[in-house]
């Protein structure tokens, strides 16, 4: 158990809908990262938040957005869903953005199926 929690575990929705994925980082971790993993694909970095502020953006679509709240949990919002958005979405957390540690600890993921 990495200490990172994600809900829900599974999500099935229709095209055009909007969903929210939730992540709680490990206790003490200030950074949260979101990744997308499609079938047989590697991990694609979407976005990072550090202590409530957006720190970096990767290949995140404009239909997707995220935020990190004062209690450090994070939500990833996916809107106008398309079939191609079906994937595993992982949240990871790390201590911070300092040079000391870049070790990221992953949650169990949310499997999104768009029908």
Partner 1 sequence: GQQLNQSPQSMFIQEGEDVSMNCTSSSIFNTWLWYKQDPGEGPVLLIALYKAGELTSNGRLTAQFGITRKDSFLNISASIPSDVGIYFCAGLPSGAGSYQLTFGKGTKLSVIP
Q: Which residues bind partner 1 (CB under 8 A)?
A: 2, 4, 41-43, 45, 48, 55-56, 58, 88, 90, 92, 97, 102-109, 111
Biggest alpha carbon distance in the chain? 43
Task: Name 76's bridge partners.
Answer: 21, 66
Q: How far is the CB of 45 from partner 1 (least distance, A)?
A: 6
Sheet with 64-68, edge to edge strand ranges: 5-7, 19-24, 74-78, 64-68
Q: Which is nearer to partner 1, 5 or 16 (CB)?
A: 5
Q: How far is the CB of 115 from partner 1 (least distance, A)?
A: 19
Q: How far is the CB of 80 from partner 1 (least distance, A)?
A: 26
Indicate if the alpha-carbon torsion angle 18, 60, 88, 2 is positive or negative.
negative
Q: Which is nearer to partner 1, 83 or 99 (CB)?
A: 99
């Amino acid at each position: 158990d990495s200490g990172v929690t994600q809900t829900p575990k599974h999500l099935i929705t229709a095209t055009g809908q909007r969903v929210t994925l939730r992540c709680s980082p490990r206790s003490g971790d200030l950074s949260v990262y979101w990744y997308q993993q499609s079938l047989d694909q590697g991990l694609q970095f979407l976005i990072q938040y550090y202590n409530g502020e957006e720190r970096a953006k990767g290949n995140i679509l404009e239909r997707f957005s995220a935020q990190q709240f004062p209690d450090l949990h994070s939500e990833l919002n996916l809107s106008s869903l398309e079939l191609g958005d079906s994937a595993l979405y992982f949240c990871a957390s790390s201590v911070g953005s300092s040079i000391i540690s870049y070790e990221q600890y992953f949650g169990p993921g949310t499997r999104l199926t768009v029908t």
